[in-house]
Chains A and B, each alone.
Chain A
Amino acid sequence: EAQVTQNPRYLITVTGKKLTVTCSQNMNHEYMSWYRQDPGLGLRQIYYSMNVEVTDKGDVPEGYKVSRKEKRNFPLILESPSPNQTSLYFCASSPAGPYGYTFGSGTRLTIV
Chain B
Amino acid sequence: AQKITQTQPGMFVQEKEAVTLDCTYDTSDQSYGLFWYKQPSSGEMIFLIYQGSYDEQNATEGRYSLNFQKARKSANLVISASQLGDSAMYFCAMPPQGGNNRKLIWGLGTSLAVNP
Contacts and interface: CB of A to CB of B under 8 A. Distances in A.
Interface string A96-111: 0111111111101000
A42 B102 contact: no
Interface residues of B, number: 22
A41 B52 CA distance: 26
Contacts, number: 55
A94 B37 contact: no
A31 B91 contact: no
A104 B42 CA distance: 12
Contact of B47 (A40, A58, A97, A101): A101
A50 B100 CA distance: 10
Contacts of B52: 98
Contact of A48 (B45, B47, B91, B103): B103
Given A45-B103, A48-B103, A105 B43 contact: yes
A98 B45 CA distance: 18
Interface string A33-50: 100000011111100101
Interface string B32-67: 010101000001111110101000000000000000
A94 B102 contact: yes
B7 to A, nearest CB: 14
Q: Is the interface of A mostly helix, strand, loop or mixed?
A: strand
Contacts of B35: 100-101
A23 interface: no
A92 B45 contact: yes
A91 to B, nearest CB: 10
Among A43, A48, A102, A108, the most chain B Cβ lie within 10 Å of the Cβ of A43
6 contacts: A42-B109, A98-B101, A99-B50, A100-B37, A102-B47, A103-B44
Given A58-B103, A103-B44, 10 more contacts: A40-B108, A42-B91, A42-B106, A42-B108, A101-B35, A101-B47, A101-B104, A103-B47, A104-B44, A106-B45
Interface of B: 33, 35, 37, 43-48, 50, 52, 91, 93, 100-104, 106-109
Interface of A: 31, 33, 40-45, 48, 50, 56, 58, 88, 90, 92, 94, 97-106, 108
